[in-house]
A = this chain, B = another copy of it.
Amino acid sequence: MKLVIAVVQDQDSNRLSNALTKGNFRATKLASTGGFLRAGNTTFLIGTEDQLVPKVLELIKDNCRSREQMVAPVSPMGGNADSYIPYPVEVEVGGATVFIMPIEQFHHF
């Protein structure tokens, strides 16, 4: 058994949850902030058999990978709306930081 600790952005959290459930993996979610990623993230604790670790990593990668996204800019509050041209802006979203930890014992009561 291994414990997979994955820190992912909140916006990818539900999609990863669903993918893990569909793959028969069980995860506990902790609300977390800052640091590894921009503020507002979720820390997943996923206990799994050794041979399924690559499958968990694949699910995390597929659902949380860092990628570019075109975002409509926020219109200027109280600004000169006539001269405002809303160029979409490319921002980096997603990303995951993952630790695979050894487990000495696993119990379920």
Contact = CB atoms under 8 A, between A and B. Distances in A.
A99 B108 CA distance: 9
B29 A34 contact: yes
Interface in A86-105: 94-105
Interface in A31-73: 31-37, 41, 43, 45-47, 53, 57, 60-61, 64-66
Contact of A101 (B7, B60, B61, B101): B101
B28 A32 contact: yes
A26 B32 contact: no
Interface of A: 1-3, 5, 7, 17, 20, 26-37, 41, 43, 45-47, 53, 57, 60-61, 64-66, 94-109
12 contacts: A3-B101, A26-B36, A28-B43, A29-B33, A29-B35, A43-B45, A65-B109, A66-B109, A97-B108, A98-B105, A99-B103, A100-B103
